[in-house]
Amino acid sequence: MERLGEQIQELRRQRELTLRALSRQSGFSVSFLSQVERGLSSLSISSLRAVADALSVDLSYFFPPPVHTNYVTRTTDRKPFRLQGSSIAYVSLGGSFPARTLEPLLVTIPPRHRVSEPFAHPGEEFAYVLKGALTLWIDGKRHALRPGDGIHFSARVRHSFENGGRHPVVAVWVTTPKLF
């Protein structure tokens, strides 16, 4: 994950795309994409998916393939991970098998964290808040969620989120298509 910005830049150049062209295709600003490529800013998994779609690669391109097939995930086997430069922690909750379409994750968003630019991508998203207070903006409309609240929406609509509180937000987040 340390090479994420370099991988994006390499793919963009291979496809003979300018930052401006990638900006138009992904929905992110040129300056933000430049910062990502230089390792000065990070992407959420959903944002990375939008960039991957714009570069015509599967999100799995940025991550090593799973070592084995599993239907069950044990608490003892789960390892949190972060995207380079991101403070959001992810834990995969799902199994690994051919033709899988869902990506269930346990997501921990630190206090005062905000996704700066709204993004969109193919698929759907579902979030269920376990702890903390999460704010999502979907197509410009604000949705405040507390523990026990859930939200389900088309990811093709521009969206972003924020933990404006003093405590971490912990949520079960399910996306389609699968990310890894």
123 with 44, same domain? no
Please say whether the beta carbons of 155 and 121 come within 8 A: yes
84 with 151, same domain? yes
pLDDT at 1 over 50: no
| Domain total of the chain | 2
pTM metric for this prediction: 0.67
For the chain, percent of residues with pLDDT exceeding 90: 60
122 with 153, same domain? yes
User: Tell me, what CATH number does 26's domain have?
Assistant: 1.10.260.40
46 with 112, same domain? no
Please say whether the beta carbons of 115 and 43 come within 8 A: no
Give me the residues paired with residue 34 across strands: none
- φ and ψ at residue 4, rounded to 5 degrees: -55, -50
Note the pLDDT tens digit of each residue in 33-66.
999 998 888 888 888 989 999 999 988 888 766 5
Q: Is residue 67 a part of any domain in this protein?
A: no
53 with 81, same domain? no
Give the range of the structural domain holding residue 79, as residue numbers without chain letter. 75-176
Note the pLDDT tens digit of each residue in 128-168.
999 999 999 999 999 999 999 999 999 999 999 999 999 99
What is the dihedral sign for C-alpha 175, 144, 147, 44?
positive
